[in-house]
Amino acid sequence: MPAPQLSLATLGSVPTAARPAYDPRDLRIGLVHLGAGAFFRAHQACYTHAVAAAGDSNWGIMATSQRSPEVADQLSAQDGLYSVLERPTRGAPKIDVVGVIRRTACAAREPEDIVAALADPAVHVVTLTVTEKGYRAVGGRLHVDSDVEADLLGRPPATVVGQLVRGLQRRAAAGAGPITLISCDNLSDNGTILRQLVRDFAERLTGPGTDILQDFIERHTTFPSTMVDRIVPATADSDRAEVQRLLSGVRDDAAVVAEPFSQWVIADEFGGPRPSWEAAGAILTTDVAGYERVKLRLLNATHSLIAYLGALAGYRTIAEALADARIEQAARQLIDDDQLPTIVAPDGLDLIDYRESVLDRFANPALGHRTAQVAMDGSQKLPQRVLSAVRERRAHGVVPSMAALLVAAWMRFLIGRDDNGDALQVSDPMAERLTPMLTRAAPDRDVVREVFAVHEIFGADLADDTDLMDAVAYWFDALRRHGVEQTLKGA
C-alpha cells in the first residue's frame, strides 16, 4: 500500500507534536510570496507559522513559484502543508508541519492570479525569494532584456518586477490600500534595489493611469531591506524517507531541511499592517545595512570560497570541504585579512563570535549541503559577497589576496572539471559567455583580463585594476596547474 500523503485529511495521523498549533483552514490570505522554493519554506514561512500559532489568523500565504509548476502543484496536492526537518550538528532532528501556505500559483502558468492577489485589499505584504538573477538588475538598475521588454508591452507578466508593477497598477486603480514589498534575497541593500527596479519598470510605462501608478509607488508602497539567514540544503531522497518515518508513515513531497539557526533582520518600514514576526525572533531595526554587510561579506563570501575550493578538490559537501585544514585556513584568512577590515559591527555584535558561529554552522555534517549548490550562480553572487569589499581594500591600496583566490577559484570552477578531471555540475546564467573565455588557450593574464572586462560582474573600475588582475591570474594559474591542495600548501 502506498504511504498516505500529507494533507489536511491526513494531518490527524502525524504525531501531535509535529502538527501546527492552529487550524490552517482558519487563516485568511494576507501575504503573497514570490519564489516558493525551499529557502522561503524554511525561513520566512516559519516566522509566519509562529505568528499563526500565537493566534493571529490574518497571515495565510499565497505562495507562488516563478517557473516551476511542480513546486506549486506539490504544495497544492498537500493543501499547502509541508514539513521542516531541522538537523542539528549532534542529536535528533526535529520536525514541524507548517500550515500557513493557503494558496499556490505558478507565475509562468497563472500570471493573472498573482497580479490579482496583489490588488486584494486583505493582502498587505509581499515577500520575495527569487534568487539574485530573478531581479534582472545590472548595477542596481533594471536590465531591459527581451523578457522585460515583452512585459512592458503588456503581456501577462513573466518577470518578477513585471508582476509586481502590474500588481501595483491594479492595486492603485482598485484603491486597495498601501502595501509593503520585501526582498529576502542575498543582495546588499535589497529593499533599495527592489524599489529602484520597480520605479525603472513603472517609468517606462506609458498610457492612462501611469501617474496614478507612480504616485502609488512613491506614497503607498514601501520596500524595507532585510537580512535573511538560514542554511537550507536541497532536500534529498534520504531526507524525505526520514520525514516519512518521523511523520508516522505519512509521505511529504514538499518537505524541506534546515539547520537550527535562523535569523531575519527587517527594516521597520511598513506601509500597512504586518505580521508580528518579532514574536518569532525577527529583529525589526533601522540598521539593516550593517547586518547585511556582515552576513554577505563574512558568511556568504566564505561559503562561496569553501564551495569552489571544495568542489575543485573533489569534496561533495561544505562540511567535508571545511574539514580539510587547508581549506579551513583559507576561509579564516579570507575573513580575517580581507573581509573583516571592511566591516563595522552593528551594535552588540561581536565579529569574532560571529566568525566562529558561521564556521561551526558550515561544519554541521548532518546538513549534507552540497558544494555544487553553493557554487551555483557565482556571476550573480560574487559582486555583493566579495567584489564590493575588494573595492574598499583597493581604495586603501591593498590587494586582498584571499579575495583574489576566491575570484580565481570561481573562474577555475567554471572550466567544469575538478582536480581529478571529473565533471563538475556548473550552473550559472553567464556560463555560456564565460566558459569559452576561460577554456581558450591563452596566457592566464589575458584570460583574467577578458573575464574582468565583463562589466556586469566587475564594473568598469576593476576591469582596469592591473594589480588585482595579477593576483587573480597568479591563483588561477596555480589552481589550474597544481590543483587546490598544492596551491594552498604554498599559500
Q: Residue 226, interface with ligand CS2 (CB under 6 A)?
A: no
Tell me the backbone φ, ψ of residue 201, rounded to 5 degrees. Answer: -70, -50
Q: Residue 257, interface with ligand CS2 (CB under 6 A)?
A: no
Q: Which residue lies nearer to ligand CS2 by CB, 165 or 288?
A: 288
Q: Residue 374, interface with ligand CS2 (CB under 6 A)?
A: yes
Q: How many CB atoms lie within 10 A of CB 349?
A: 13
Burial class (CB in 10 A: 0-12, 13-18, 19+), 298: buried
State the chain's maximal CA–CA distance in angstroms.
68
Measured CA to CA, the distance from residue 174 to residue 449 in angstroms comes to 52
Q: Where are the alpha helices (DSSP H) in 377-465?
A: 378-382, 388-395, 401-414, 431-439, 444-452, 455-462
Q: How far is the CB of 229 from ligand CS2 (least distance, A)?
A: 4
Q: Which residue lies nearer to ligand CS2 by CB, 115 or 374?
A: 374
Q: Which residue lies nearer to ligand CS2 by CB, 281 or 436?
A: 281
Q: Residue 229, interface with ligand CS2 (CB under 6 A)?
A: yes
Q: Residue 380, interface with ligand CS2 (CB under 6 A)?
A: no
Exactly one of 119, 231, 406, 479 binds ligand CS2 (CB under 6 A); which one? Answer: 231
Enclosing H/E stretch for 50: helix 44-53
Q: Which residue lies nearer to ligand CS2 by CB, 58 or 373?
A: 373
Q: Residue 303, interface with ligand CS2 (CB under 6 A)?
A: yes
Q: Residue 256, interface with ligand CS2 (CB under 6 A)?
A: no
Q: What is the DSSP string of 401-415?
A: HHHHHHHHHHHHHHT
Part in contact with ligand CS2 (CB under 6 A); list of ranges 75-83, 89-97, 168-176, 373-381: 373-381
Q: Which residue lies nearer to ligand CS2 by CB, 166 or 370?
A: 370
Q: Which of residues 115-144 bind ligand CS2 (CB under 6 A)?
A: none
Q: Return the sign of the alpha-carbon dihedral for residues 86, 92, 97, 98.
A: negative
Burial class (CB in 10 A: 0-12, 13-18, 19+), 436: exposed
Rg over alpha carbons for the chain, rounded to the nearest Å, is: 23
Number of residues in contact with ligand CS2 under rule CB under 6 A: 9
x/- track of binding to ligand CS2 for residues 37-76 (CB under 6 A): ----------------------------------------
Which amino acid is located at 308 in the chain? Y
Which residues, listed in sequence order, are joined to residue 258 by a DSSP beta bridge? 86
231: its cell numbers: 542554511
Exactly one of 186, 244, 380, 401 binds ligand CS2 (CB under 6 A); which one? Answer: 186
Q: Which residue lies nearer to ligand CS2 by CB, 49 or 297?
A: 297
Q: Which residue lies nearer to ligand CS2 by CB, 202 or 407?
A: 407
Measured CA to CA, the distance from residue 77 to residue 75 in angstroms comes to 5
Q: How far is the CB of 185 from ligand CS2 (least distance, A)?
A: 9
Q: Which residue lies nearer to ligand CS2 by CB, 185 or 477?
A: 185
Q: How many CB atoms lie within 10 A of CB 352?
A: 11
Which amino acid is located at 288 in the chain? V
Residues at the contact surface with ligand CS2, assessed by CB under 6 A: 186, 229-231, 300, 303, 373-374, 381
